[in-house]
């Protein structure tokens, strides 16, 4: 398992907090999950402006990076894009990265973390075993995994580990538009860009911040 990957995120999401900002963060998540192309492109351009404006996202996206969307919890039906694929293509359309490559797939379903009871959420190993990778003609030098929401980072760490096997020389990082704030009772604002790390420690993934 990869020991750590760098990740970036732009918005915070409060699944249980009270107040207007928390409710708006849940609405944002619902709109994101809907896969609306216009909505995703609007936020992709906002991410680009943030990346061009300075820290913390300055330099995170590079012109040569290949954006690899993380598939959902179940194998996608043919001709159907998952939310992360919509987001990856929107980010490329906004000028971030060189291309989007949906070459990471689920070979079998895993439980959804958002609805699984505590203690039965899929582990990093379970996510890892569920992934497969297509072969591509040329190995990328930089890969950014794209996901809609990150909680602990188990899915991203497992996906990065699987990709590292196929492309050991590529620098692998991750971007998730939303990051979950757990049981935080309230948040002051939902647009709060950050750059941090997801690391493997004591048999599990840990995200900071």
List, for residues 68-103, the tens digit of each pLDDT value: 999 999 887 654 678 999 999 999 999 999 999 999
| Residue 27, pLDDT above cutoff 60 | yes
Identify any residues that bridge with 142 across adjacent strands, giving them in sequence order: 171
Greater pLDDT, 183 or 206? 206
CB 92 within 8 A of CB 67: yes
**Residue appearing with tokens 């647009």:** 191
Instruction: Give the sheet arrangement for strand 4-13, strand by strand.
Output: 99-100, 66-69, 142-150, 171-180, 4-13, 191-201, 204-208
User: What pLDDT sits at residue 120?
Assistant: 78
Torsion of CA 22, 28, 34, 37, to 10 degrees: 180
| Residue 138, pLDDT above cutoff 90 | no
Per DSSP bridges, beta strands 66-69 and 99-100 are parallel
Among 52-56, 117-121, 177-181, the least confident range = 117-121
Per DSSP bridges, beta strands 131-133 and 104-106 are antiparallel
User: What pLDDT sits at residue 136?
Assistant: 77
Angle among Cα 103, 13, 33 to the nearest 5 degrees reads: 45
When pLDDT is cut at 50, 70 and 90, the band that residue 16 belongs to is: confident
Whole domain around residue 46: which residue ranges?
Answer: 4-208
The rounded distance, in Å, linking the Cα atoms of 101 and 203 is 30
Greater pLDDT, 123 or 1? 123
User: What pLDDT sits at residue 80?
Assistant: 64
Closest to 108 (Cα-Cα) out of 72, 142, 143, 140: 72
User: What pLDDT sits at residue 167?
Assistant: 94
Rounded to the nearest integer, the mean pLDDT of the chain is 92
Count the neighbouring beta carbons within 10 Å of the beta carbon of residue 131. Answer: 21
Domain count within the chain = 1
**Residue appearing with tokens 């079998």:** 108
The rounded distance, in Å, linking the Cα atoms of 163 and 169 is 10
Give the domain CATH number at 101.
3.40.50
| Residue 114, pLDDT above cutoff 90 | no
Closest to 71 (Cα-Cα) out of 43, 19, 108: 108
| Residue 60, pLDDT above cutoff 60 | yes
User: What pLDDT sits at residue 85?
Assistant: 94
What is the mean pLDDT of the segment spanning 117-136?
A: 88
User: What pLDDT sits at residue 81?
Assistant: 77
Tokens of 73: 């919890």
User: What pLDDT sits at residue 70?
Assistant: 97
| Residue 154, pLDDT above cutoff 80 | yes
The rounded distance, in Å, linking the Cα atoms of 2 and 203 is 12
User: What pLDDT sits at residue 77?
Assistant: 60
pTM recorded for the entire structure: 0.95
Element housing 5 (H / E): strand 4-13
């Amino acid at each position: 398992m990869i020991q750590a990957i760098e990740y970036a995120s732009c918005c915070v999401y409060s699944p249980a907090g009270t107040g207007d900002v928390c409710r708006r963060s849940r609405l944002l998540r619902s709109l994101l999950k809907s896969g609306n192309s216009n909505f995703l492109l609007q936020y992709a351009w906002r991410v680009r402006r943030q990346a061009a404006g300075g820290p913390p996202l300055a330099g995170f996206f590079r012109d040569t990076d290949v954006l690899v969307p993380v598939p959902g919890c179940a194998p996608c039906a043919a001709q159907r894009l998952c939310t992360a694929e919509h987001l990856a293509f929107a980010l490329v359309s906004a000028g971030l990265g060189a291309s989007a490559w949906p070459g990471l797939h689920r070979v079998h379903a895993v439980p959804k973390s958002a609805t699984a009871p505590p203690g039965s959420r899929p582990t990093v190993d379970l996510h890892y075993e569920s992934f497969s990778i297509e072969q591509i003609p040329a190995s990328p030098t930089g890969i950014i995994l794209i996901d809609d929401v990150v909680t602990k980072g188990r899915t991203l760490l497992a996906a990065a580990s699987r990709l590292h096997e196929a492309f050991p020389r590529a620098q692998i990082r991750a971007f998730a538009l939303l990051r979950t704030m757990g049981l935080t009772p309230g948040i002051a604002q939902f647009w709060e860009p950050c750059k941090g790390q997801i690391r493997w420690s004591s048999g599990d993934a840990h995200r900071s911040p």
